Structure 1
Amino acid sequence: MTVRYQTFKTLALLLGFTFIFSGCIGTKSGVNVREPIDEVPTTAASGGPRLTFGIIYPMVNDTYEMVTENAEAAAADHDIKVIVQAPDEANLEQQIRIMEMMIKQEVDGIAIDPVDSEALIDVINKAVSSGIPVICFESDSPSSQRNAFIGADNYKTGIVIGQTVDTLLGGKGMILVQSGMPHMLGLTQRLQGLQDYVAQHTEIDVLEVRHNDGSEANAVLQLEQMITDHPHFSALINLDFVSSSSSVLVWKAKGLNRYNVALGLTPYVNQSIENGQITRIISQNEQNWGQAIINNLRKLAQDETLPEFINTEITEIRN
């Protein structure tokens, strides 16, 4: 089978996967929206003011759909309205535009997973100075005035991934690394942790590192190119959700039996570890992020003080 035909076949699988997992969210002007932003009720069923929280993702992905479901379940217990928005693919300008819209609507709190921690400082600070508390999750913007960060230590996550591949390969071998947006702080921290551990504690060679910029199509094409360029690689390391799900498609299409270490636990990726496409999953307990977002935005709305870092810890999952 030619490389061109193989790529076409894999892209076809990718398109089907994308349709399945993003079809539940409507698209408007390139921004995926679960709730219309101009429909903000002012009164709760109890008769008091109803809180409205906004959640902004880097892009549409089934991991974030899982976070949304968890957040909506937690919000329902307190009669809180949740507005969820995300660009189709990672896009700084769209994240800024969404933040500006939520500030204009005077929502009661915003949780954002920033695609660029430095570029979003001004709009995060604008929200906070307007009296809207802001929580970052998954990836932080520590130089901003955000109130707290929810997630795991991303540098430590990279170290745990390094320890995992060290165990799998016995300290020797050749690895490929896939990541997402090069300016996303959490991803650069994961990559640095992985590289530092591998360099200091193993004889493993990092053959190549690629960034997919949050695009599943890019992730598939880049992975296929890396495999073509380095056919004798020992393991693939995925540092973001897009890379993890896209690697499953490539493993299925090519029938690969190499080690494949994924980042992030979703039902799809979990099923893939059972089916043999994924060897290990390193999770930051993403399934709990939604509840943590709602509960901590509630505390901020009630003028409670939060710790700067709300640690969701790291879990290794194996079949």
Structure 2
Amino acid sequence: MSIATINVKRFSIVGLCMAMLLLVASGCTDNNVHSVENLTPKPTASAEATSHQFGIIYPMAHPYYETVTQAALEEAEKYKTRLIVKAPDEANLEQQIRMMETMIAQDVDGIAIDPIDAEALIPVIDKAIMAGIPVITFESDSPASKRLAFIGTDNYKAGERMGQMVDQLLKGRGMIIVETGITKMRNEQERLSGMLAYLEAQTDIQVLEVKYNEGSETVALTELEAMIDAHPHFDGFVAIDVISGSTSVLVWKAQGLNRYALTFGMMPEIAEALRNGQLTAALSQNEHMWGTAIVETLEQAASGLEIPNRIETGTSEVTFEDVVDVSPSPSQ
């Protein structure tokens, strides 16, 4: 069995764990926010006291981040660290800012944030740093802020690699449609820029249209269906963000489309779509590494240790063969 197959099974377990956690969190006062407080067990009177308390803030509540949370929980248990995990139901800058403000007021020992808007979050990131709270970013960066480190991939290079994947499938010619997520989210800007630059410089592939869903699944579905209707002869589709990727699976199922479809990010839903042929390939950013790196980096920073400015997790291309055990059976 391949490593990717093992990871897919692990993701399914993660999904179950997170479904239970989100049920616990459903009692939050803000109905637009998922919040899972104090995910590690509270110490008893005789137990060793928790060393640190860290916050993790996602851009939205989505199954894509379940594996990140699970890895963070497993790493936090090693340190007896408590986690506060928050995310808006849908991408919402104001809610991310409020979440940061709340964690600053709680005087947590460190914060990891996946910024919706790299520029708009600078003041509150810097406020946390000035208050003595280490802040790191992951997946999407805010390099102009005083954040201490970034965990993730070089998103521009990831975009270039996606362009190469499209180039190989279409053999340098053809027409594609593209959907991305949040206009001001830096990682998605860089992925799109890298892909478009590669396609323009290295191929004769025409990008017919690029649409933005702004973090809304409803908008993503509407925009994708509109592009398909407007360009019925397209050869392929690229999802720059995970919401567009999830939406494309639904559309390919509903319409029975036989076109190339590629996306960024891995999760059980994407693995299943690769197995079933709704997706051609996915470009993973090795998301399973983020949770561990987040806790380790915040532990070092909170302990006064020097941390690297950037922790690169790279990318991995995932296709049908990577999520299915294609080895012959004993009878063959």
In structure 1, what is the equivalent of residue 95 of structure 2?
94
Q: CA deviation at 1:184?
A: 0.5
Amino acid at match of 1:33: S
1: CA distance, partners of 2:48 / 2:293: 25
In structure 2, what is the equivalent of residue 123 of structure 1?
124
2: CA distance, partners of 1:310 / 1:104: 28
Q: CA deviation at 1:47?
A: 3.3
2: CA distance, partners of 1:212 / 1:190: 15
In structure 2, what is the equivalent of residue 172 of structure 1?
173
Q: How does 1:275-286 map to 2 (within 5 A)?
A: 275-286=276-287
Secondary structure of the corresponding residue to residue 144 of structure 2: coil
TM-score normalised by structure 2 residue count: 0.86
2:206 is the alignment partner of 1:205: yes
Q: How does 1:133-152 map to 2 (within 5 A)?
A: 133-152=134-153
2:264 is the alignment partner of 1:263: yes
TM-score normalised by structure 1 residue count: 0.89
Q: State how many pairs are aligned.
A: 299
Q: How does 1:191-270 map to 2 (within 5 A)?
A: 191-270=192-271
Q: Which runs of 5+ in 2 are unaligned?
A: 1-18, 321-332
Q: CA deviation at 1:44?
A: 9.5
2: CA distance, partners of 1:187 / 1:149: 15
RMSD: 2.1
Q: How does 1:7-86 map to 2 (within 5 A)?
A: 24=23, 26=26, 28-29=29-30, 30-35=32-37, 47-86=48-87
TM-aligned CA distance change 1:21 to 1:41, over 3 Å:
closer
TM-aligned CA distance change 1:282 to 1:124, over 3 Å:
same
Amino acid at match of 1:210: K
Q: CA deviation at 1:150?
A: 0.2
1: CA distance, partners of 2:120 / 2:214: 16
Amino acid at match of 1:301: A
Is residue 38–residue 82 contact of structure 2 (8 Å, CA) maintained in 1?
no
Q: CA deviation at 1:34?
A: 1.4
Q: Which runs of 5+ in 1 are unaligned?
A: 1-19
Is residue 265–residue 287 contact of structure 1 (8 Å, CA) maintained in 2?
no
Secondary structure of the corresponding residue to residue 165 of structure 1: helix
Amino acid at match of 1:31: V
In structure 2, what is the equivalent of residue 3 of structure 1?
none
2:290 is the alignment partner of 1:289: yes
Is residue 263–residue 283 contact of structure 2 (8 Å, CA) maintained in 1?
yes
2: CA distance, partners of 1:264 / 1:45: 43
In structure 2, what is the equivalent of residue 8 of structure 1?
none
| CA deviations over 1:250-309 (Å, ceiling 9, x no partner) | 111111110000110111101110110110110110111111111111111111111111
Secondary structure of the corresponding residue to residue 64 of structure 1: helix
In structure 1, what is the equivalent of residue 110 of structure 2?
109
What is the identity percentage for the equivalent residue pairs of Structure 1 and Structure 2?
Answer: 49
1: CA distance, partners of 2:246 / 2:223: 14
TM-aligned CA distance change 1:73 to 1:36, over 3 Å:
closer
1: CA distance, partners of 2:41 / 2:97: 20
1: CA distance, partners of 2:20 / 2:160: 30
